Amino acid sequence: MPTSEVDFGLAALSDQLILGAVLLYVLAMIGYALELAFATRRVNQAKQGKRRVLVGAGGAEDESVAAEAAGGEAKHGWALRAGTAGLVVGWLGWAANLAAILTRGLAVDRWPWGNMYEFVVAMCFAAVTAFLIMQIRFPVRFLGAFVFVAAMLGLGFAVRYLHVQAGPVVPALDTYWVAIHVSAAILASGLFILAGVAGVLFLIRKDGLSRLPTRAELERVAHRAILVAFPVWTFAIIAGALWADRAWGRYWGWDPKEVWSFITWIGYAAYLHAWTTAGWKGKKATIVQLVAFAALMFNLFGVNIFIGGLHSYADVG
């Protein structure tokens, strides 16, 4: 598509929407962080008070503890409201992120992930989407502050270091395979980010009382995300091979991007294999999945920025 056909008005709107999404993600992160820092403590107080009431069978001290727990609930109710506000603002940020992707695509009349900037924007959107959808069904609200930090930093990095002007792409990217292969890679990457966040929290959580959820809960979130992401990543690799045959006349050529995509696949396959057959759970399994996550991040940033290859057309501005 010639440069003259780019709708620069829509392209500028897309850039503004990304900045809006960053701001909304920051506000959502603050709301979730306040809830995690204060409302979680309130819940722990209430639980401890309830246990002491049951054990003491209604003594004077028990009544005092129960009243203190109830007082803690009232005192920190604002933190629950802050978390709810974070949820609402998070959805608004999600909408702004989606609108930025759509307006970018409409501005250039193609799928809006033809370079590294567009891919990272879409990947952050996928991570937030995975969290918001999982939150509907599972009690994973405690991850909100950390997921939105990751999304905010990802978008900020994309705007600051990866941004390129909206425009046409090279012929190899002007194909429906972008919608198939790259979309699958984006979706899987978003889920892997969610698992990575849970894995990092698993390692830094200390034993005993903590505002963070239990390690079992963190591990469960990571495992569920990887169970969904792994087959999607597998499909992305297969679709990429089919696309490579169509574009370059071979299915596999050991291009750096192909190699690191395969290394990432091996890492997550090793995690699932160890979990299923060897009974690796807890710290061992978490370390394996974080090694795979590090390979994923290097595949995205290290290969694109520092290593040349057939995939070097993913512009870095």
Give the model's pLDDT for residue 50: 45
Position 75 pLDDT exceeds 60: no
Contact 129, 94 (CB under 8 A): yes
Summarize pLDDT for 157-171 with one digit per residue, the tens: 999 988 888 888 777
Question: How far from chain centre, in Å, is Cα 314?
Answer: 21
Give the model's pLDDT for residue 304: 78
Q: Is the dihedral of CA 66, 67, 70, 76 positive or negative?
A: negative
| Whole-angstrom distance, CA of residue 85 vs CA of residue 108 | 35
Q: Average of pLDDT values for 72-91?
A: 80
Kindly state the tokens that stand for 24: 């909304």
- Grade residue 172 by pLDDT with cuts at 50, 70 and 90: low
Give the model's pLDDT for residue 313: 53
Which of 69-83, 91-105, 151-165 is least confident? 69-83
Give the model's pLDDT for residue 310: 56
More confident: 314 or 16: 16
Residues 6+ apart with CB under 8 A from 304: 116, 257, 311, 312, 314, 316
Which of 61-70, 76-85, 191-200 is least confident? 61-70
Nearest by Cα to 63 from 76, 47, 52: 52
Give the model's pLDDT for residue 260: 92
Position 121 pLDDT exceeds 90: yes
Give the model's pLDDT for residue 54: 41
CA dihedral of 246, 248, 252, 254, whole degrees rounded to 10: -150
Summarize pLDDT for 275-309 with one digit per residue, the tens: 888 778 888 899 999 999 999 999 888 887 777 65
Cβ neighbours around 59 below 10 Å, total: 12
Cβ neighbours around 283 below 10 Å, total: 12
Nearest by Cα to 2 from 154, 222, 169: 169
CA atoms within 13 A on the CB side of 167: 10
Question: How far from chain centre, in Å, is Cα 154?
Answer: 10
Give the model's pLDDT for residue 174: 72
